[in-house]
Amino acid sequence: ANPSALCPFLTIVGPALAECLKDGNTPVRLAAERCALHVFQLTK
């Protein structure tokens, strides 16, 4: 993945990921945690 391609969309992706992290469904939460880990590692 290309980090520079993702950075302009972080204001959209970040809040959506945060909502998924609060989900009561465990598989959804686990998938969101994994996604957040990868997204924020790419942008550092």
- Domain range enclosing 16: 3-42
What per-residue confidence (pLDDT) applies to 3? 72
The pLDDT value given to residue 1:
61
> Is pTM, for the whole model, over 0.75?
no
Q: How far apart are CA 44 and CA 23, in angstroms?
A: 26
Give pLDDT, residue 36: 87
Nearest to 32 by CA among 41, 23, 19, 20: 20
Pair 20, 32: CB distance under 8 Å: yes
Give the total number of structural domains in the chain: 1
Q: Could you give the count of Cα atoms lying within 13 Å of 21 in the half-sphere of its Cβ? A: 11
Give the alpha-carbon dihedral of 23, 26, 29, 35, to 10 degrees. Answer: -150
Give the pLDDT of residue 27.
Answer: 95
Q: Profile the chain (44 residues) by mean pLDDT over runs of 10 residues.
A: 78 90 94 88 68
